[in-house]
Amino acid sequence: MTISILICDDLPEARTTIRRYLRNYEQSHDIELDLETAADGAELLAMWRPGRWDMIFLDIFMPLIDGVEAARRLREVDDKCEIVFATTSREHGMEGYELHAMDYLTKPIAQQDVDEVMDWYLREKVEQRSELHLRTPEGEEKVRALDIRYIETRSHTCLIHTADQTITVRRRIDELAAGLDTAFFRCHKSFLVNLRHVSEIDRNLFLLHGGDSVPISAANISRSKSALMAWQTMMS
């Protein structure tokens, strides 16, 4: 999964700091970030094209076109890109509300501030709308990531387990994993578990709410414990 982010600030050191925090977050989570920078609102608007960015970290006080005006113009053509204002003052809070800003960070920005923004975005935006488009013997089918409990592979066939059905598709588990969000963890070469449905780990098993269990390979026990702890922390 790749998230495209623009960092727009007239101060090079501010752009560098946010970029470093985002790279730190990327390394600690199983995601890929496509990062770009702009030095002011005019450059942002010149760079924009439909669907280019999922999120913008946007300073307010900049020369030429400031952040509020850039956001106002952006909203005329793009209502999907999330805007995170980053500034030294909260005096533009009302404009941020009117422009549907996702968050409002006060400088100096800390790593925790960026982490919380990214946690919210993954939880509320990416993971809620993630779904698989499958071709089955019965025809085309869409399955929400939220509903998948785990996936197992047998030879060249994958079994996708939900609470009320098991869907069989002729796909590689790696291909399915690439279309899913960060709640899915590869705990075994033949199993992919949805951490949303995990209650705990018992020795070499993920125990799922409702009674199912998913095996963990010996090589992945430590990583599985860390992944579950990180997921539960993010959701708390």
Q: Is 22 left (phi over 0), alpha (psi -120 to 50) or beta?
A: alpha
Q: Which residues of 122-135 are buried (b: 16+ CB within 10 A; e: fewer)?
A: beebbbeebbbebe
pLDDT of residue 144: 85
Please give the residue that has the higher pLDDT: either 29 or 108: 108
| CA pair distance 227, 229, nearest whole angstrom | 5
Determine the Cα–Cα distance for residues 218 and 96; give it in Å rounded to an integer.
Answer: 49
Phi first, then psi: give them for residue 101, nearest 5 degrees. Answer: -70, 140
Quick check: 72 pLDDT over 70?
A: yes
Query: Is the backbone peptide bond immediately before 215 cis, with ω within 30 degrees of 0?
Result: no
HSE, side-chain direction, 13 A CA sphere, residue 168 = 6
Q: In what order do the strands lie in the sheet with 213-215?
A: 198-202, 205-208, 213-215
**Residue 13 clears pLDDT 60, i.e. is over it:** yes
pLDDT category, 224, cuts 50, 70, 90? very high
**Average pLDDT over every residue of 201-227:** 95
The pLDDT of residue 48: 94
Mean pLDDT of 55-73: 90
pLDDT tens-digit series, residues 143-172: 888 899 999 999 889 999 999 899 999 989
Quick check: 200 pLDDT over 50?
Answer: yes
Give the per-residue pLDDT at 80: 85
Q: What is the mean pLDDT of residues 18-43?
A: 93
Residue 184, pLDDT above cutoff 80: yes
CB proximity list for 41: less than 8 A, separation 6 or greater: 8, 62, 64, 65, 66, 67, 69, 70, 73
* Cα 11 to Cα 28: distance, rounded to the nearest angstrom: 27
Tokens linked to 64: 């030429």
- Confidence class for position 97, pLDDT limits 50, 70, 90: very low
Which tops the pLDDT comparison, 69 or 180? 69
Going by C-beta distance under 8 Å and a sequence separation of 6 or more, which residues neighbour residue 110?
none
Mean pLDDT over each residue of the chain, to the nearest integer = 88
Return d(Cα 187, Cα 168) in angstroms, integer: 20
Is the pLDDT score of 6 beyond 80? yes
Indicate whether 29 pLDDT > 90: no
The per-residue pLDDT for 129 is: 61
Please state, in angstroms and rounded to a whole number, the distance separating the CA atoms of residues 3 and 55: 8
Domains located in the chain, CATH noted? 2-128 (3.40.50.2300), 132-235 (2.40.50.1020)
Averaged pLDDT for residues 182-210: 94
Could you report the per-residue pLDDT of 50-63, keeping only the tens digit for each? 889 999 999 988 88
